[in-house]
Structure 1
Amino acid sequence: MEERRTTPLIASRIRDFFITRRRVPTYEEMLGLFGVRSKSVVHFWVEKLVREGMLIRDEKGRLSLTPRLMGIPLLGDVTAGFPSAAEEELCDIISLDDYLISRPEASFLLRVTGDSMVGEGIRPGDLVIVERGQTPANGDIVVAEVDGEWTMKFFRKEGDKVFLEAANPNYPIIEAKEELRIGGIVTAVIRKYHRNQRPRSRFRSK
């Protein structure tokens, strides 16, 4: 049975070719990759990938891959409850940059030390993505400078008072005595298992 051609499938064929050969396939090579006989079909898929931001042309018309195409294949869902039957199916290609960061120009990474946010699943050694320039709402996790020291906590505002709360009962609620400055809102947490390299910068959550 012929495999149904979809955008994620076509993108994965080009991506796999690039990883192996370190170059973009020619139109002639795409005939075999896509399983088609007509270059007009190849042209259709190339133009579709260009429109979707997976391929880009330079001023001479040469194709190159974008970070969106070089993302990771999404093969479906997996249950975290009781086991269920599952079939592997290529659903999409996901760029982790696009998925995790909505405003790259306003975002930065910090590595966490301390265990004050373990109740929220943020552990020592995790990376957090922080976004500047947004006004925090109650319940947001913020990176804040309190009386000259930086910390990461839940944000809570009651009237004119702002409180910073840990996700660990061993830590007290913090209320700024003199100065409070919000450095950004935590938008994502990254944890790498069996990691070989670690960023040098550290950040304490306590």
Structure 2
Amino acid sequence: MSNLVQALTTLQYVKGRMPLDSSDNKSTRPDLIAQDPQSQQDRRDRQQAKKNKVDSIRAHHRCPARPQDATPKNVVLYGAFAIAAGAGNCLEMSCASVWYLNESGRFNYDMVYYPGHNAPGQGVRDHIFVAIGQTSDGNGDFPTDFNAWDPDAAICDVWADIACPARDYPARWRARMSNWRYSGLLIANRLPTDDMWSNLVDLPKKSYLQPV
């Protein structure tokens, strides 16, 4: 099975168990909802319910909220817990992807994040995704430019609903951010503008699974 097929299969399975709208950091722009008080209150209630559920999932003792917590055992077990709960953000969806890859007997993966740019859990621009068929260097760093990644490497990013060759990921990511921006989807209560989200893929990348 090719890396790309692994990515596509994993994406379809995980998002089938963890709906893409279960993330508490995505919401519809308030002015696109009917302006009557009840509709607005319903929107706030739905968003709060999603936040409460994600918070309850992250209270699990295996939650790898920081790279130093991301042991292989913690990631796989937390992924199983998150997929059973059926909700989460990019951390939960990435761990669920790792769980699925393990269950499928595939171990050529890593979780990737952007260090030093609103580290996971500490800001509005953190993100984690799964790389398949691409290894980091001895320091846990990946090539900053996706064009330097292995041509057979693939990305599985369930949160953004993307599975593609790694070298195609920046274009797919920017297209997704543009689509969300024009459709009025907020990420952490802000539109995904170019300076905040679209250019995230150009930043340095590091293994979330290699000890820091």
Q: Normalization by structure 1: what TM-score?
A: 0.22
Q: Which has the larger share of strand?
A: 1
Q: Which has the higher contact order (CA 8 A, sep 6+)?
A: 2
Q: Normalization by structure 2: what TM-score?
A: 0.21
Q: Which has the larger share of helix?
A: 2
